Amino acid sequence: MEGAKNIRTAPYLIKKALAGMQVKETLVRTYKQAAEFRRIYYDELDEEKKQIIDAYMKLPVSSKINKIKILKKYKFTKSGLFRKLGYYFYI
């Protein structure tokens, strides 16, 4: 067992910063994937699914408060409390 981590050490802070960058990169990739999906399949989607994809596409250009509203409305959330908090932090 490792025990408590010293959160004031440089290696710990670097690791956390890099993890945050990876989360942001992953989000950017999902936005690109959603844009491509929309481009290919939009005309085949029903209105509800069009609203969902359009809402997701608004996330990168929305304010933080609007992002949170969209995430809650369409349930674009992660499972687990810490994953949800991290997701809300990085969006």
pLDDT at 35: 95
Q: Would the pLDDT of 50 be above 70?
A: yes
pLDDT at 15: 67
Q: Would the pLDDT of 68 be above 80?
A: yes
pLDDT at 76: 83
Question: φ, ψ for residue 2 (rounded to 5)?
Answer: -85, -35
pLDDT at 48: 96
Comparing C-alpha atoms, which of 64, 37, 26, 33 is closest to residue 72? Answer: 64
Question: Can you tell me whether residue 65 is helix, strand or coil?
Answer: helix
pLDDT at 27: 85
How much is the average pLDDT of 22-33? 86
Q: What is the mean pLDDT of the chain?
A: 81
